[in-house]
């Protein structure tokens, strides 16, 4: 079940004041489309995408999940490639964002290194969201601000990927991306494990009090800067519900990153809680993220 479906599925259990707020943000008109860098080109070598399933997890026992691996045509056997992991992977590998085509085009243009894409779904089953309920392990994995999900990637998922493809161990050649709770998850992974990931993209990141994520701006301000590059995107009509306001939360994160001198950007669009804007600017986001790779 994709993100929009999950949010709609829990709507009957949402406190009354939040129902119209959810609806307005999820159905807000989005003046964005995918551009030419997100479309296949006849003169560009195409990578391959294969589907896989991780049936077991030591970090999240009893859960299983689907994932996909993109391998660019430029990869050579035994040569470690850069890596980018996407939470809510089905949204990114599919037509919502066309990430494999974006990678094809940018790699061919020299705008990013040959990069393995790993697109992973949250685990099933699970308890759903706090307060609102629902199903799935997504909130446990993505909204929790401890190192557990970083451990899941490094101990459960990526070893399975590495059996098929050679991955770089250089954290400067490792990026992570996500939408909403998947966005704060991306930051959490890099925050706890900058030795493993140093490039972060957060689309409508949930830096709000679902499972303590609202503490990040003060945490960033109190700690010495870590060697991270962080791209934040949100919309003027992003969620504003019981857990917090996404627009203001992302502004607070950007201010904290600026205070500590992080290499970062915040882009605010005109839409709601959606991947539409983030996907439309993803080619430019990746050019910025990988600009010195």
Burial of 28 (0-12, 13-18, 19+ CB in 10 A): middle
Angle between helix 99-108 and helix 282-289 axes, rounded to 10 deg: 50
Q: Is 7 a residue whose pLDDT tops 80? A: no
- Closest alpha carbon to 215 in 182, 186, 256, 178: 256
What pLDDT shows up at residue 76? 87
* CATH number reported for the structural domain that contains residue 161 in this entry: 3.40.50.1820
- Residue 71, beta-bridge partner list: 48
How would you classify the pairing of strands 240-241 and 244-245? antiparallel
Residues 123-141, mean pLDDT to the nearest whole number: 92
Query: pLDDT tens digit string along 144-179?
Result: 999 999 999 999 999 999 999 999 999 999 999 999
> Could you tell me the residue range of the domain that residue 192 belongs to?
3-289
Which residues are within 8 A (CB) of 36 and not within 5 positions of it... i.e. 6 or more apart? Answer: none
pTM (2 decimals)? 0.94
Q: What are phi and psi of 93, to 5 degrees?
A: -75, -20
- Closest alpha carbon to 208 in 264, 143, 266, 258: 143
Compute how many other C-beta atoms are within 10 angstroms of the C-beta atom of residue 236. Answer: 11
Measure the CA–CA gap between 257 and 259, rounded to whole angstroms: 5
Residues 169-194, mean pLDDT to the nearest whole number: 98
Residues 261-287, mean pLDDT to the nearest whole number: 98
- DSSP annotation of 157 reads I
Domain total of the chain: 1
User: Taking a C-beta distance cutoff of 8 angstroms, is the pair 115, 81 a contact?
Assistant: yes
Measure the CA–CA gap between 178 and 226, rounded to whole angstroms: 20
Query: pLDDT tens digit string along 215-259?
Result: 999 999 999 999 999 999 999 999 999 999 999 999 999 999 999
């Amino acid at each position: 079940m994709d993100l929009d479906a999950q949010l709609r599925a829990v709507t009957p259990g949402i406190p009354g004041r939040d129902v119209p707020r959810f609806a307005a943000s999820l159905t807000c008109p989005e003046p964005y489309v995918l551009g030419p860098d997100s479309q296949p080109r006849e003169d560009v070598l195409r990578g391959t995408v294969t589907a896989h399933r991780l049936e077991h997890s030591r970090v999240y026992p009893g859960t299983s999940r689907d994932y996909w691996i993109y391998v660019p045509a430029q990869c050579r056997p035994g040569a470690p490639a850069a890596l980018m992991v996407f939470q809510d992977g089905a949204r990114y590998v599919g037509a919502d964002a066309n990430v494999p085509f974006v990678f094809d085009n940018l790699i061919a243009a020299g705008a990013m290194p040959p990069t393995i894409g790993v697109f992973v779904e949250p685990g099933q089953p699970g308890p759903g969201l706090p307060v609102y309920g629902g199903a799935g392990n997504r909130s446990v994995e993505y909204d929790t601000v401890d190192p557990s999900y970083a451990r899941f990637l490094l101990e459960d998922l990526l070893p399975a990927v590495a059996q098929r493809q050679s991955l770089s161990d250089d954290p400067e050649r490792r990026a992570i991306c996500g939408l909403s709770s998947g966005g704060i998850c991306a930051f959490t992974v890099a925050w706890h494990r900058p030795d493993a990931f140093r490039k972060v993209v957060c689309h409508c990141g949930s830096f709000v009090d679902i499972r303590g994520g609202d503490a990040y701006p003060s945490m960033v301000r109190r700690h010495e800067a870590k060697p991270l590059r962080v791209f934040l995107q949100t919309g003027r009509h992003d969620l504003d519900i019981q857990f917090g306001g996404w627009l203001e939360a992302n502004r607070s994160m950007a201010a904290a990153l600026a205070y500590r001198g992080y290499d970062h950007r915040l882009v605010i669009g005109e839409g709601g809680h959606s991947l539409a804007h983030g996907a439309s600017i993803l080619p430019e986001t990746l050019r910025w993220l990988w600009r010195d790779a």
